[in-house]
Amino acid sequence: MFVAITRSPGPELSRCELTHLDRQPIDFDRALAQHRAYQDTLRAAGADLIELPADPAHPDGVFVEDTAVVLDEVAIVTRPKPLSRRGELGAIEGAILPFRTVRRLPADAWLEGGDVLRMNRTLYVGQSSRTGEAGLQALIDIVNPFGYTVIPVRVTGCLHLKSACCALDTESVLVNRAWVDAEAMANVRQVELPATEPWGANVLRLPGVVVVSASFPRTLDLVRGLGHTAIALDVSELHKAESGLTCMSLLFNAVARSGGIIMPPGTVEETSR
Protein backbone atom coordinates (compact mmCIF):
# COMPACT_ATOMS: atom_id res chain seq x y z
CA MET A 1 0.00 0.00 0.00
CA PHE A 2 1.19 3.48 -0.76
CA VAL A 3 -0.14 6.89 0.21
CA ALA A 4 -1.20 9.58 -2.23
CA ILE A 5 -1.84 13.06 -0.84
CA THR A 6 -4.00 15.22 -3.08
CA ARG A 7 -5.80 18.53 -2.74
CA SER A 8 -8.90 19.39 -4.73
CA PRO A 9 -8.73 22.42 -7.01
CA GLY A 10 -11.09 25.32 -6.38
CA PRO A 11 -12.57 28.03 -8.61
CA GLU A 12 -9.57 30.19 -7.66
CA LEU A 13 -7.40 27.95 -9.87
CA SER A 14 -7.77 30.55 -12.61
CA ARG A 15 -5.57 32.88 -10.50
CA CYS A 16 -2.69 30.40 -10.37
CA GLU A 17 0.95 31.34 -10.85
CA LEU A 18 2.08 31.09 -14.49
CA THR A 19 5.67 31.30 -15.74
CA HIS A 20 5.97 29.73 -19.19
CA LEU A 21 2.35 29.77 -20.38
CA ASP A 22 -0.05 32.55 -21.32
CA ARG A 23 -3.16 32.75 -19.16
CA GLN A 24 -6.25 31.09 -20.64
CA PRO A 25 -9.79 30.76 -19.28
CA ILE A 26 -10.12 27.60 -17.17
CA ASP A 27 -13.39 25.69 -17.10
CA PHE A 28 -13.49 24.87 -13.39
CA ASP A 29 -16.15 22.15 -13.60
CA ARG A 30 -14.12 20.36 -16.25
CA ALA A 31 -10.88 20.80 -14.29
CA LEU A 32 -12.55 19.36 -11.18
CA ALA A 33 -13.89 16.37 -13.13
CA GLN A 34 -10.43 15.73 -14.56
CA HIS A 35 -8.90 15.92 -11.09
CA ARG A 36 -11.44 13.41 -9.77
CA ALA A 37 -10.54 11.05 -12.62
CA TYR A 38 -6.90 11.53 -11.64
CA GLN A 39 -7.72 10.55 -8.06
CA ASP A 40 -9.62 7.51 -9.33
CA THR A 41 -6.51 6.47 -11.28
CA LEU A 42 -4.45 6.65 -8.08
CA ARG A 43 -6.99 4.52 -6.22
CA ALA A 44 -7.06 1.96 -9.04
CA ALA A 45 -3.28 1.64 -8.72
CA GLY A 46 -3.65 0.80 -5.02
CA ALA A 47 -3.17 4.19 -3.38
CA ASP A 48 -4.55 5.03 0.03
CA LEU A 49 -5.78 8.50 -0.83
CA ILE A 50 -5.57 11.45 1.56
CA GLU A 51 -7.81 14.15 0.15
CA LEU A 52 -7.25 17.70 1.36
CA PRO A 53 -10.03 20.21 0.68
CA ALA A 54 -9.62 23.10 -1.72
CA ASP A 55 -8.35 26.28 -0.08
CA PRO A 56 -9.66 29.54 -1.61
CA ALA A 57 -6.61 31.39 -0.29
CA HIS A 58 -4.23 29.31 -2.41
CA PRO A 59 -4.94 29.06 -6.15
CA ASP A 60 -1.99 26.68 -6.69
CA GLY A 61 -2.87 24.40 -3.77
CA VAL A 62 -3.81 21.49 -6.05
CA PHE A 63 -0.13 21.17 -7.00
CA VAL A 64 0.92 19.42 -3.80
CA GLU A 65 4.11 17.87 -5.20
CA ASP A 66 5.89 21.22 -4.92
CA THR A 67 5.38 21.44 -1.16
CA ALA A 68 7.33 18.39 0.03
CA VAL A 69 9.88 15.72 -0.78
CA VAL A 70 8.98 12.47 0.96
CA LEU A 71 11.68 9.82 1.24
CA ASP A 72 11.56 6.51 3.11
CA GLU A 73 13.49 7.92 6.08
CA VAL A 74 12.36 11.55 6.27
CA ALA A 75 10.06 14.14 4.71
CA ILE A 76 11.27 17.60 3.75
CA VAL A 77 8.66 20.34 3.67
CA THR A 78 9.95 22.61 0.94
CA ARG A 79 10.05 26.36 0.45
CA PRO A 80 8.12 27.44 -2.67
CA LYS A 81 9.51 30.63 -4.14
CA PRO A 82 6.17 32.44 -4.75
CA LEU A 83 4.90 34.02 -1.54
CA SER A 84 1.38 33.07 -2.61
CA ARG A 85 2.23 29.41 -1.98
CA ARG A 86 3.80 29.58 1.47
CA GLY A 87 0.49 29.15 3.29
CA GLU A 88 -0.05 25.73 1.69
CA LEU A 89 2.62 24.08 3.81
CA GLY A 90 0.78 23.64 7.11
CA ALA A 91 -1.90 21.30 5.76
CA ILE A 92 0.69 19.25 3.86
CA GLU A 93 2.88 18.93 6.93
CA GLY A 94 -0.08 17.73 8.97
CA ALA A 95 -0.92 15.07 6.39
CA ILE A 96 2.67 13.76 6.31
CA LEU A 97 3.37 13.73 10.05
CA PRO A 98 1.62 10.39 10.79
CA PHE A 99 4.09 8.72 8.43
CA ARG A 100 7.40 10.57 8.62
CA THR A 101 9.61 12.83 10.68
CA VAL A 102 9.38 16.22 8.99
CA ARG A 103 12.28 18.56 8.32
CA ARG A 104 11.77 22.15 7.21
CA LEU A 105 14.00 24.22 4.97
CA PRO A 106 15.47 27.54 6.13
CA ALA A 107 13.53 30.66 5.20
CA ASP A 108 15.95 31.67 2.43
CA ALA A 109 16.25 28.22 0.85
CA TRP A 110 13.91 28.07 -2.14
CA LEU A 111 13.14 24.58 -3.36
CA GLU A 112 10.06 22.99 -4.92
CA GLY A 113 9.31 19.29 -5.08
CA GLY A 114 8.69 19.41 -8.82
CA ASP A 115 12.44 19.91 -9.17
CA VAL A 116 13.35 16.72 -7.29
CA LEU A 117 13.49 13.46 -9.24
CA ARG A 118 14.40 10.36 -7.23
CA MET A 119 16.12 7.49 -9.01
CA ASN A 120 16.92 4.83 -6.40
CA ARG A 121 19.35 6.51 -3.93
CA THR A 122 20.08 9.48 -6.19
CA LEU A 123 18.12 12.72 -6.14
CA TYR A 124 18.41 14.78 -9.30
CA VAL A 125 17.54 18.37 -8.39
CA GLY A 126 16.56 20.91 -11.01
CA GLN A 127 18.28 24.27 -10.81
CA SER A 128 15.31 26.18 -12.15
CA SER A 129 13.66 29.53 -11.51
CA ARG A 130 11.95 27.86 -8.51
CA THR A 131 14.90 26.10 -6.85
CA GLY A 132 18.11 27.90 -5.95
CA GLU A 133 21.56 27.11 -4.59
CA ALA A 134 20.49 27.58 -0.97
CA GLY A 135 17.60 25.15 -1.43
CA LEU A 136 19.88 22.62 -3.08
CA GLN A 137 22.42 22.83 -0.25
CA ALA A 138 19.74 22.59 2.44
CA LEU A 139 18.39 19.44 0.81
CA ILE A 140 21.90 17.96 0.62
CA ASP A 141 22.44 18.64 4.31
CA ILE A 142 19.25 16.78 5.21
CA VAL A 143 19.49 13.74 2.94
CA ASN A 144 23.22 12.99 2.83
CA PRO A 145 23.21 11.35 6.30
CA PHE A 146 20.63 8.88 4.96
CA GLY A 147 22.90 7.84 2.10
CA TYR A 148 21.37 9.79 -0.77
CA THR A 149 23.46 11.38 -3.50
CA VAL A 150 22.21 14.74 -4.79
CA ILE A 151 23.06 15.84 -8.33
CA PRO A 152 22.07 19.31 -9.60
CA VAL A 153 20.60 19.55 -13.11
CA ARG A 154 20.35 22.84 -14.97
CA VAL A 155 16.79 23.51 -16.22
CA THR A 156 15.82 26.02 -18.92
CA GLY A 157 12.63 26.55 -20.88
CA CYS A 158 10.22 25.00 -18.39
CA LEU A 159 9.07 25.40 -14.80
CA HIS A 160 10.58 22.35 -13.06
CA LEU A 161 12.90 19.44 -13.76
CA LYS A 162 9.90 17.10 -13.87
CA SER A 163 8.33 19.26 -16.57
CA ALA A 164 11.10 17.93 -18.81
CA CYS A 165 12.20 14.65 -17.22
CA CYS A 166 10.37 11.88 -15.33
CA ALA A 167 11.07 8.27 -14.42
CA LEU A 168 9.69 5.45 -16.52
CA ASP A 169 11.14 2.79 -14.20
CA THR A 170 14.03 2.50 -11.76
CA GLU A 171 16.66 2.72 -14.51
CA SER A 172 15.30 5.02 -17.23
CA VAL A 173 13.76 8.45 -17.70
CA LEU A 174 11.69 10.14 -20.36
CA VAL A 175 13.41 13.43 -21.18
CA ASN A 176 13.23 16.58 -23.28
CA ARG A 177 16.94 17.24 -23.69
CA ALA A 178 16.30 20.76 -25.00
CA TRP A 179 15.17 21.85 -21.53
CA VAL A 180 17.60 20.07 -19.19
CA ASP A 181 21.32 19.39 -18.90
CA ALA A 182 21.10 15.75 -19.91
CA GLU A 183 24.82 15.22 -19.27
CA ALA A 184 24.18 15.65 -15.54
CA MET A 185 21.97 12.55 -15.75
CA ALA A 186 24.41 10.39 -17.66
CA ASN A 187 24.03 7.55 -15.12
CA VAL A 188 20.45 6.81 -16.15
CA ARG A 189 19.04 5.57 -19.43
CA GLN A 190 17.44 8.48 -21.28
CA VAL A 191 14.53 8.15 -23.70
CA GLU A 192 14.04 11.24 -25.87
CA LEU A 193 10.54 12.63 -26.33
CA PRO A 194 8.89 13.00 -29.74
CA ALA A 195 9.94 16.45 -30.97
CA THR A 196 6.33 17.46 -31.58
CA GLU A 197 5.37 16.91 -27.92
CA PRO A 198 7.95 18.82 -25.82
CA TRP A 199 5.65 18.88 -22.76
CA GLY A 200 5.04 15.13 -22.80
CA ALA A 201 7.83 14.11 -20.41
CA ASN A 202 5.76 14.62 -17.28
CA VAL A 203 4.48 11.09 -16.86
CA LEU A 204 3.34 9.51 -13.59
CA ARG A 205 4.83 6.12 -12.72
CA LEU A 206 2.49 4.06 -10.54
CA PRO A 207 2.68 0.38 -9.54
CA GLY A 208 2.16 -1.57 -12.76
CA VAL A 209 1.34 1.37 -15.00
CA VAL A 210 2.70 4.62 -16.44
CA VAL A 211 0.14 7.42 -16.77
CA VAL A 212 0.59 9.72 -19.77
CA SER A 213 -1.37 12.86 -20.55
CA ALA A 214 -3.93 12.25 -23.29
CA SER A 215 -2.69 15.49 -24.84
CA PHE A 216 0.45 13.64 -25.97
CA PRO A 217 -0.56 10.56 -28.00
CA ARG A 218 2.87 10.07 -29.60
CA THR A 219 4.46 9.99 -26.16
CA LEU A 220 1.90 7.38 -25.13
CA ASP A 221 2.81 5.24 -28.15
CA LEU A 222 6.51 5.65 -27.33
CA VAL A 223 6.06 4.51 -23.73
CA ARG A 224 4.01 1.51 -24.81
CA GLY A 225 6.58 0.68 -27.46
CA LEU A 226 9.21 0.42 -24.73
CA GLY A 227 7.18 -2.38 -23.15
CA HIS A 228 5.49 -0.40 -20.38
CA THR A 229 1.81 -0.73 -19.55
CA ALA A 230 0.60 2.83 -20.11
CA ILE A 231 -2.73 4.62 -19.97
CA ALA A 232 -3.85 8.04 -21.17
CA LEU A 233 -5.53 10.48 -18.80
CA ASP A 234 -7.17 13.71 -19.89
CA VAL A 235 -5.87 16.61 -17.79
CA SER A 236 -6.04 19.19 -20.56
CA GLU A 237 -7.91 21.79 -18.49
CA LEU A 238 -5.37 21.47 -15.69
CA HIS A 239 -2.54 21.87 -18.20
CA LYS A 240 -3.70 25.47 -18.60
CA ALA A 241 -2.54 26.06 -15.02
CA GLU A 242 0.97 24.81 -15.96
CA SER A 243 0.14 21.44 -14.45
CA GLY A 244 1.61 18.05 -15.18
CA LEU A 245 0.62 14.64 -13.89
CA THR A 246 3.18 14.32 -11.10
CA CYS A 247 2.49 17.70 -9.52
CA MET A 248 -1.03 16.84 -8.33
CA SER A 249 0.00 14.18 -5.81
CA LEU A 250 2.58 13.31 -3.18
CA LEU A 251 3.30 9.59 -3.33
CA PHE A 252 5.17 7.54 -0.73
CA ASN A 253 5.19 4.18 1.02
CA ALA A 254 2.62 3.91 3.82
CA VAL A 255 5.00 3.22 6.69
CA ALA A 256 4.14 4.89 9.98
CA ARG A 257 7.12 6.61 11.55
CA SER A 258 7.67 8.00 15.02
CA GLY A 259 9.01 11.53 15.37
CA GLY A 260 7.86 15.03 14.73
CA ILE A 261 8.89 18.32 13.20
CA ILE A 262 12.54 19.33 13.08
CA MET A 263 13.04 22.99 12.31
CA PRO A 264 16.33 24.50 11.12
CA PRO A 265 18.06 27.01 13.44
CA GLY A 266 16.56 30.46 13.23
CA THR A 267 13.36 29.32 11.52
CA VAL A 268 10.39 31.57 12.17
CA GLU A 269 6.88 30.28 11.71
CA GLU A 270 5.23 31.91 8.75
CA THR A 271 1.54 32.67 8.65
CA SER A 272 -0.59 32.10 5.59
CA ARG A 273 -0.43 34.85 3.00
Active site residue 247: yes
String of b and e for 12-34 (b: at least 16 CB within 10 Å)?
Answer: bbbbbbeeeeeeeebeeeebbeb
Burial class (CB in 10 A: 0-12, 13-18, 19+), 133: exposed
User: How many CB atoms lie under 10 A from the CB of residue 151?
Assistant: 15
* Strand 2-7 versus strand 47-52 pairing type: parallel
Give the largest CA-CA distance in the chain.
51
- Spot the catalytic one: 16, 158, 165, 247: 247
By the 10 Å C-beta count (0-12 exposed, 13-18 middle, 19+ buried), 64 is classed as: buried
SS3 state of residue 109: coil
Catalytic site residue from 35, 160, 228, 239:
160
| 165 counts as catalytic | no
Contact indicator for 172, 192 with CB cutoff of 8 Å: no
Q: So which residues are the catalytic ones? A: 160, 247
